[in-house]
Amino acid sequence: RVRGAAWSTAEARWTVEIERADTGETVSMTANWLFCAGGYYRYDEGFTPRFEGRERFAGQIVHPQHWPEDLDCAGKKVVVIGSGATAVTLIPALADTAGHVTMLQRSPTYILPVASQDVI
């Protein structure tokens, strides 16, 4: 487990403090490059937050990590929670067949078209 990372301008290197899972010992490593991959990922089980009242919801809940190939949203009301890359990909496709699509997002995401040629 990474406990901390510090950049040294003088040495042009990162020093990373790591706690070993097997012993609990803290070790220090240095590196020229540090790739930070923050976030949750488990192949077998995507992150599902606790939704109060979920047990009372009569509809279908689908996690995009386990999307059924035969999912039929034709005419249904669909809510997509989140506005990340997966949502941006799913929503236009869902809108083609679903009766209504609503997206819920915590922080706004902006998507802008890119000009096909430089305008300057």
For the segment 9-18, the average pLDDT, to the nearest whole number, is 96
pTM for the complete prediction?
Answer: 0.58
For the segment 31-38, the average pLDDT, to the nearest whole number, is 87
Structure tokens at 53: 């009242």
Residue 89 identity: T
Residue of 17 and 42 predicted with greater confidence: 17
Residue 67 identity: W
Left, alpha or beta for 75 (phi > 0: left; psi -120 to 50: alpha)? left
Long-range contacts of 85-93 (CB under 8 A, 24+ apart): 90/64
| Cα–Cα distance measured from residue 78 to residue 64, given in angstroms and rounded to the nearest whole number | 13
